[in-house]
A and B are shown apart, each in its own frame.
Chain A
Amino acid sequence: MIWFAWRQFRTQAAVVFGALAVLAVVVIVTGLQLRHWYDISGIANCAAAGDCDTVTSAFTTHYSWLQTLLGNVLIDFFPAVIGVFWGAPLIARELDTGSYRLVWTQSVTRTRWLAAKITIVGAASVAAVGLLSWMVTWWSTPFDKMANNKFDPSVFSERDIAPLGYAAFAFALGVTAGLLIRRTLPAMATTLVGYIAARVVVLIWIRPHFQAPLHATGLLQAPGSDSGLVKLPGATLAPQPGSWLVSSQILDPSGHPTNGRIEVRIGDPCVATHSCLTGYHQTITYQPASRYWPFQWYEMSLFIALAAILIGFCFWQINGRRLPTTSRILPGTRPDTPSRLEKTLDRDPAAHLDRATFTAAERPMTVRGKAGGHRQPDTRDGTDGSSR
């Protein structure tokens, strides 16, 4: 079965891995160039020189298009593409085209058939996304070193091992959608929507709570201002570099949160003394940089666990639909049988005339025996013709 699953899949695999090979060439060539430019840019010791802004902004212009393409578009959408084009059609296409009737009646159980397909295509999905993530992570290293923001949500999910979990999940979601919806195109659409929804939910509600975030509070440093309105700076209190700033809030002297604006009357003496912000303080919650790798593992494990649940569900479904659970005749679900109709006829004398025709019509008859031998029409309860 492994061979057959591979035979069905090999063209698609060749296309994707071929494209990845081409991409790898681009990534290696441009990545080496980037490293060279990074080394000569002086970013590594710009802090000592005291002018980091100029060198970093000069460096960021290199291959900015490729940065967007690789680091944002490709790596973000690739798991979804895998789920939509490899996961969803895996079962749905067989059901769509009717070929399941061919393959499910060979001497291979559906469980083994599904196991082989999921092993081959699932492994290829994770491998393809893993390769891309590896390339992107390697290629972006100079930028990431410079910006030191890998924990930021905009970058976190595009580097290292988190995409492996996304790939497994997107694929499993596609397979499940295909099995339940049984039609390829709707299954593909559902997969895309479901995948995006799951990613958003995890990003907003779950990832910040993998570990309880740390808090920090500090007084605001008031910028000198004589305008009537003082706009407060966004995050004057910065956690250590490389951390993920989960939330930041400015509290007034009595401890109530503000919306980030404080109204000051013109001529208020505090303007002159620069004391309008006295008592205002900022509180931030953040995940420290040291938790980057644990969070990568949590993120990947969470999505792999979701994928495992979905795959388990698929195996349960594909078996549950097949197994005829012995000879059950459920009370109440059995349709009207001829015998019940006949009883009705027995109570109605006017219907007697019709019985012969009726029973012949509504009754399966079995003619047994060889020609010339003992013949007996199967009348079961012997009511046929008894009234004539």
Chain B
Amino acid sequence: MTAVLDTDGLGKRYRRRWALTDCTLKIPAGRVVGLVGPNGAGKSTLLNLAVGLITPTCGRIDVLGTLPARGSAELGRVGFVAQDTPTYSGLSVADHLRMGARLNPGWDRQFAEDRIAQLGLDPAQRAGKLSGGERAQLALTVAVAKRPELLVLDEPVARLDPLARREFLQSLMEVVADQGVSVVLSSHLVADLERVCDHLIILVASRVRLTGDVDQLLATHHLLTGPRRDTDRLPADLHVVQESHTDRQSTLLVRTEAPILDPAWTVGQISLEDLVLAYMSQARAGASNNGHRRLTGVPR
């Protein structure tokens, strides 16, 4: 099966600033991928590259096995809900569906109309008068009704209130379940992604820090608590992500494939959110300390 997103050494520079650096990823089909990172980490850049709105400065990107947005056929295979879910404020909801129908050969008119009715949107309403949540739903409807193989969503819920956010993610999950579409979804809120994603990419300061299936990530990361010891005396297959020490005790977040057998450690599970935060703060420390270890960070 071809990867939905396959990049190698991908980079994007805006004038003098690198928004994305050396990004190498391979995302298998059929996943709901969460792209997480702080604001300005390069999430939008990666997604805009994936839908062909911008071109890479260096490196390679393949989406569904071809260059993104090369022609109308390639455009038709990828649905995109852009950041802040832009719509034409002067056009009505029905006009947006008509636009989708005219501009996409694979348009599923029945689905689009049913979904608008189900959401309770008035087709005659102008998009400029919709609430943020309704506008996001409209944008999602347009993106899904073209029957894409890959659905890319760039912070679709960032501006929504918690209720609208939950409803949006719920309806996204229904779509995924119904149509078996692959999804790449970005957010700076891990809690949003935790509910819906089965694959995770952590992007901090223009670099990919971690990528993998969520189950896998949770199974290979452990929170160890035990008597104080130096981390360079740990087994070789134990990678310390984050550590903190008191006079007597050490708390480590480690990544390992092997089970933790040392009885001196109390092994705890870590939540996805804490895992993400650990990688983010570690990356930030790495950036500010020029690679030197940060000793104070404590996983929550």
Contacts and interface: CB of A to CB of B under 8 A. Distances in A.
Interface of A: 1, 3-4, 7-8, 11, 97-109, 112, 321-330, 333-335, 337-338, 341, 345, 351, 353-354, 356-358, 360-362, 364-371, 375-377, 384-386, 388
By CB atoms of chain A within 10 A, which of B90, B106, B207, B291 has the most? B291
How would you classify the secondary structure of chain B's contact residues: helix, strand, loop or mixed?
mixed
B216 interface: yes
Interface string B271-296: 00000000100110110000111000
A354 to B, nearest CB: 6
A367 B213 contact: yes
B255 A102 contact: no
Q: How large is the interface on B (under 10, 10 to 19, 20 to 34, 35 or more residues)?
A: 35 or more
Interface in B206-228: 207-213, 215-217, 219-220
A364 B208 contact: yes
B189 interface: no
B232 A388 contact: yes
20 contacts: A4-B102, A7-B98, A8-B90, A98-B84, A101-B48, A102-B86, A104-B53, A105-B78, A106-B146, A324-B56, A329-B60, A341-B291, A354-B291, A354-B293, A357-B240, A361-B279, A364-B208, A366-B211, A368-B212, A385-B237
A335 B11 contact: yes
A98 B86 contact: yes
Interface in B223-275: 231-232, 234, 236-237, 239-241, 255, 257
Contact of B211 (A321, A364, A370): A364
Interface of B: 8-9, 11, 13, 18, 21-26, 48, 51-61, 67-73, 75-76, 78-80, 82-84, 86-91, 95, 98-100, 102-106, 139, 142-143, 146, 207-213, 215-217, 219-220, 231-232, 234, 236-237, 239-241, 255, 257, 279, 282-283, 285-286, 291-293
Given A329-B58, A330-B58, A365-B255, A108 B291 contact: no
A116 to B, nearest CB: 10
Contact of B283 (A7, A330, A361): A361
A103 B103 contact: yes
Given A4-B102, A98-B86, A108-B103, A375 B220 contact: yes
Contacts of A334: 9, 11, 22, 58
Contacts of B100: 106
By CB atoms of chain A within 10 A, which of B51, B52, B98 has the most? B52
B53 A101 contact: yes
Nearest to A367: B212
Nearest to A338: B22
Contacts of A8: 88, 90-91
A91 to B, nearest CB: 14
Contacts of A360: 239-241, 255, 282
By CB atoms of chain B within 10 A, which of A104, A330, A345, A376 has the most? A104
Nearest to B287: A361
A229 to B, nearest CB: 66
B217 A367 contact: yes
Given A324-B67, A361-B282, A375-B257, A97 B292 contact: no
B291 A333 contact: no
Contact of B286 (A102, A327, A358): A358
B51 A105 contact: yes
Given A324-B68, A327-B59, A98 B236 contact: no
A105 B239 contact: no
Nearest to B208: A364
Nearest to B104: A107
B152 to A, nearest CB: 8
Contact of A7 (B76, B99, B241): B99
Contacts of B210: 364-365
A107 B257 contact: no
Contacts of A99: 86-88
Contacts of B215: 371
B139 to A, nearest CB: 7
Nearest to B210: A365
A89 to B, nearest CB: 12
Contacts of B102: 1, 3-4
Nearest to A321: B55
